[in-house]
């Protein structure tokens, strides 16, 4: 199936639009222009928006493979790594913004926050999971770790998703509808991931092909296909 050339640019623009709007709003704010969208507390509003889009883009990355399976439209798999890296970009900016303006980049203050606030603990757990996945997202790391170990490591993306949902739920005061929706979506994506796996386990062992590390001359798309069960972040 021919890969649509518009797919990646479209997803790139759509997913990064909120961050672009925030950047423009801050430029206007710092230049002395009133920006109603940032409300009375620009720092809190920016942190909130970045956090919500971190979770949305991460769930979008997790949804790529189930969508490809359900629709049969496999070209979308080529955008999975990009969507995952955009999710990590949101998480990194969200974390950096908080570390800079709330903690002044102090490791000691960070340790105190982790010990004192459970939502910070879950947020840091999710951030560290995604950091490890972003570092090992290249073809070189797939070769170093081997396909099986690489896939096992990248299952941490579901841990990161759960930690992010819990982090968000603990922060939201009052109406918990949005956190519950995100948790429901995550649960559905987990089911889409593991139910096909359980069906595959019912196949006799002799019929299963062994998982091997990709050869050095393997193309990017072939590697992406070999790891199609896990969002390549």
Closest by CA to 47, choosing from 98, 90, 86, is 98
Domain ranges across the chain: 38-196
- How far, in Å, CA of 228 to CA of 79, rounded? 12
Q: Which residues of 102-112 are buried (b: 16+ CB within 10 A; e: fewer)?
A: eeeeeeeebee
* pLDDT of 193: 81
The tens place of each residue's pLDDT in the chain, 233 residues long, gives 677 899 999 999 999 999 999 999 999 999 988 888 787 889 999 999 999 999 999 999 999 999 999 999 999 999 999 999 999 999 999 999 999 999 999 999 999 999 999 999 999 999 999 999 999 999 999 999 999 999 999 999 999 999 999 999 999 988 889 999 999 999 999 998 888 766 666 665 555 555 555 555 554 544 444 444 455 56
147 CB contacts (<8 Å, ≥6 apart)? 211, 212, 213, 214, 226, 227
- How far, in Å, CA of 54 to CA of 160, rounded? 11
Closest by CA to 126, choosing from 172, 173, 165, is 165
Q: Judge whether 232 and 145 are in contact, CB under 8 Å.
A: no
* pLDDT of 72: 92
pTM flag (> 0.85): no
């Amino acid at each position: 199936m021919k890969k649509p050339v518009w797919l990646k640019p479209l997803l790139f623009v759509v997913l990064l639009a909120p961050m672009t709007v925030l950047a423009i709003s801050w430029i206007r704010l710092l230049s002395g222009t009133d920006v109603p969208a940032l409300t009375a507390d620009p720092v809190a509003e920016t942190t909130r928006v970045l956090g919500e889009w971190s979770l949305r883009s991460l769930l979008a990355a997790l949804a790529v493979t189930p969508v490809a399976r359900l629709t049969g439209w496999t070209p979308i798999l080529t955008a999975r790594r990009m969507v995952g890296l955009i999710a990590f970009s949101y998480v990194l900016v969200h974390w950096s913004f908080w570390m800079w303006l709330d903690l002044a980049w102090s490791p000691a203050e960070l340790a105190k926050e982790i010990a004192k606030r459970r939502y910070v603990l879950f947020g840091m757990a999710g951030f560290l999971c995604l950091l490890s996945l972003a570092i090992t997202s290249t073809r070189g790391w797939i070769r170093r770790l081997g396909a099986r170990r690489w896939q096992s490591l990248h299952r941490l993306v579901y841990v990161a998703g759960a930690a992010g949902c819990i982090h968000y739920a603990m922060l939201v005061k009052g109406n918990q509808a949005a956190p519950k929706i995100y948790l429901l979506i995550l649960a559905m994506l987990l089911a889409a991931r593991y139910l096909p796996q359980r069906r595959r386990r019912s196949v006799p062992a002799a019929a299963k092909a062994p998982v091997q590390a990709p050869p050095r001359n393997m193309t990017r798309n072939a590697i992406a296909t070999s790891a199609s069960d896990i969002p390549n972040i």
